[in-house]
Amino acid sequence: MTNSNSTARSQALFEEAKQYIPGGVNSPCRAYLAVNDTPRFIVRADGAYIYDVDGNEYIDYIGSWGPMILGNNPPQVREAVQEVIGNGLSFGAATEREITMAKLVCAMVPSMEMVRMVNSGTEATMSAIRTARGYTGRNKFIKFEGCYHGHSDALLVKAGSGLIANGGAPDSAGVTPGCAQDTLTARFNDFDSVEKLFEENRGEIAAVIIEPVGANMGVVPPAEGFLRKLREICDVNGAVLIFDEVITGFRLAPGGAQELFGVKPDMTTFGKIIGGGMPVGAYGGKREIMEMVAPLGPVYQAGTLSGNPVAMAAGIAQLTWLSEHPEAYEKINRLGEKLFGGFREILERARKAGRTKACCTVNSIGSIGSVFFTETPVTDYASAKTADIAAYGDYFRAMLKSGIYFAPAQFEAMFLSAAHTDREIDATLEAFGAYFGE
Ligand code: KE4
């Protein structure tokens, strides 16, 4: 691609946006603050590519932060939306398509016996915690430092993603001590820290919520046996094990991380892929737990646009295609291996050649991964935080100039899609190699 790399139009739009929208963006992850650059305003995306308002074309490794597993603007999803949009955008009433979606999710994810649609991952995790509290009659729950589960108050404690993008505090103003007092935090991949909390809060812990693969402190896979031990300690203590599979769901396997690792949670939360790019989240799991949810049970949760007919059409089209094309997973996992393995080889050569910028650690699993600018192996939040944010910013800006669109923050994931091919991977490896002096 021969990009002008002009950002004139993006800059002008950003200045205007900042007058009306906090920070000029509707989500901090898009602000490019952590990489000290101008946010690229996007005009369209197609397949493995995304295009900004200045006419620049990029190979896309964000994919709308995960939803675009089929690639951008996939015809299967677009046509499904076009088919239904003429019937009305929303009814606020029950529709058959919601049954189709619920049955599809339960078929793809065996631990799901009953599911409720919401409009975001945030709503899904917030509702799952409330349901677990209602089901157990307990107040406290455990989350893990560096994991991000959306922006509901009780979960904005030692969280990841945009909270730590700029090296900031992992907590948020406006979350009251009352809201956060029942949120206990353990360390990812440190089972002793979990055991300690259960001992100190015996009989008081309603749930453990975890990203089965951390992806909001950068990508951090679970240590061997870690998830199984969480399963066991929750069983012993009668706590609800919640897998937040907003990123890993329908991506690491059709049944998500729980299928890949063979560990069955009591509840699972979804977002991103389940909506095919439309605003959809979902939570569900064991029938006896989900029967606590209104109108059946005493745990209240509602939503004007939950199960929206257009969003359901998009999500059903994407999930149906994924469930019928297991080869898509072979492809994105192969390309992931090639890309992240290629990064490691380039860095090894750079290290051997003594080129200074080669102090990086690459974590990956399947079609997601992160390049951390630290020589420390990254296995949790503390080790992720040793990364040099400024160095990441320099790398990000250089790669963007080479037409490669990575996450504009060190503590995010990169996402591949079924629309990526060897051509994009080879071009990315070439740009990556050039950056590290090859
Ligand atoms: P949403 O409310 O953004 O749909 O989902 C929240 C959420 C929940 N759980 C996990 C594991 C997540 O990764 C997310 C959202 N992820 C961020 C990216 N790190 C979304 C991007 C953004 O906030 O703009």
- CA 272 to ligand 1 centroid distance, Å: 8
Q: Is residue 66 one of the residues assigned to a domain?
A: no
Q: pLDDT, tens digit, for every residue of 25-55?
A: 999 999 999 999 999 999 999 999 999 999 9
Check pLDDT > 80 for residue 263.
Answer: yes
The mean per-residue pLDDT over the stretch 142-151 comes to 97
**What pLDDT is attached to residue 3?**
95
Higher pLDDT, 1 or 177: 177
| Atom 1 of ligand 1: nearest residue by CA position | 121
Burial string for 263-289 (b: 16+ CB within 10 Å, else e) reads bbbbbbbbbbbbbbbbbbbbbbbbeeb
**What pLDDT is attached to residue 2?**
84
Q: pLDDT, tens digit, for every residue of 309-329?
A: 999 999 999 999 999 999 999
Check pLDDT > 90 for residue 171.
Answer: no
80, 83, 121 from 309: Cα distances, Å: 11, 11, 18
Q: Which of the residues are catalytic?
A: 148, 244, 272
> Among 120, 209, 244, 246, which residue has the most ligand 1 atoms within 8 Å of its CB, making it the best to mutate?
246
**What pLDDT is attached to residue 1?**
63
Q: Is residue 38 one of the residues assigned to a domain?
A: yes
Spell out which residues line ligand 1, taking CB within 6 angstroms.
27, 29, 65, 120-122, 125, 148-150, 161-162, 211, 215-216, 244, 246-247, 271, 281, 412
Q: Which atom of ligand 1 is nearest to the CA of 122?
A: 2
Q: Is residue 67 one of the residues assigned to a domain?
A: no
**What pLDDT is attached to residue 357?**
66
The runs of H, that is alpha helices, within 325-402 are 327-352, 381-384, 389-401
- CA 150 to ligand 1 centroid distance, Å: 5
Q: Which atom of ligand 1 is nearest to the CA of 272?
A: 4
> Among 65, 125, 267, 368, which residue has the most ligand 1 atoms within 8 Å of its CB, making it the best to mutate?
65
Q: Is residue 369 one of the residues assigned to a domain?
A: yes
Of 291, 264, 138, give the one whose Cα is nearest residue 129. Answer: 138
- Same domain for 313 and 331, yes or no, is no
Q: Is residue 282 one of the residues assigned to a domain?
A: yes
In angstroms, the CA 37 to CA 24 distance is 13
- Same domain for 92 and 208, yes or no, is yes
- Same domain for 248 and 307, yes or no, is yes
- CA 412 to ligand 1 centroid distance, Å: 10
- Same domain for 136 and 262, yes or no, is yes
- CA 27 to ligand 1 centroid distance, Å: 10
Q: Is residue 79 one of the residues assigned to a domain?
A: yes
- Same domain for 332 and 318, yes or no, is no
- Same domain for 290 and 372, yes or no, is no
81, 356, 358, 429, 433 from 345: Cα distances, Å: 42, 16, 11, 10, 10
Range of the domain at 416: 8-61+327-435
Q: How many domains does the structure of the chain reveal?
A: 2
- Same domain for 148 and 273, yes or no, is yes
- Same domain for 355 and 290, yes or no, is no
Cis link prior to 254 (omega < 30° from 0)? no
Q: pLDDT, tens digit, for every residue of 239-254?
A: 999 999 999 999 999 9
The mean per-residue pLDDT over the stretch 175-200 comes to 96
| Atom 5 of ligand 1: nearest residue by CA position | 121
- Same domain for 150 and 80, yes or no, is yes
259 contacts 253 by C-beta, under 8 angstroms: yes
**What pLDDT is attached to residue 269?**
99
- Same domain for 88 and 157, yes or no, is yes
CATH number of residue 347's parent domain: 3.90.1150.10
| Atom 9 of ligand 1: nearest residue by CA position | 149
For the chain, the average pLDDT equals: 97
- Same domain for 188 and 267, yes or no, is yes
Check pLDDT > 70 for residue 61.
Answer: yes
- End position of a domain, from candidates 270, 298, 324: 324
- End position of a domain, from candidates 289, 324, 359: 324
Region of poorest pLDDT, from 134-143, 152-161, 232-241, 263-272:
152-161
The mean per-residue pLDDT over the stretch 65-91 comes to 98
Angle between helix axes 422-435 and 327-352 (nearest 10 degrees) is 20
Q: Is residue 116 one of the residues assigned to a domain?
A: yes
Whole-structure pTM value: 0.98
- End position of a domain, from candidates 274, 298, 324: 324
The mean per-residue pLDDT over the stretch 109-136 comes to 98
- CA 89 to ligand 1 centroid distance, Å: 25
- Same domain for 237 and 159, yes or no, is yes
CATH number of residue 171's parent domain: 3.40.640.10
Check pLDDT > 90 for residue 164.
Answer: no
| Atom 20 of ligand 1: nearest residue by CA position | 65
| Atom 22 of ligand 1: nearest residue by CA position | 29
Q: pLDDT, tens digit, for every residue of 341-395?
A: 999 999 999 999 998 766 899 999 999 999 999 999 999 999 999 999 999 999 9
Q: Is residue 70 one of the residues assigned to a domain?
A: no
- CA 299 to ligand 1 centroid distance, Å: 24
The mean per-residue pLDDT over the stretch 73-83 comes to 98
Cis link prior to 295 (omega < 30° from 0)? yes
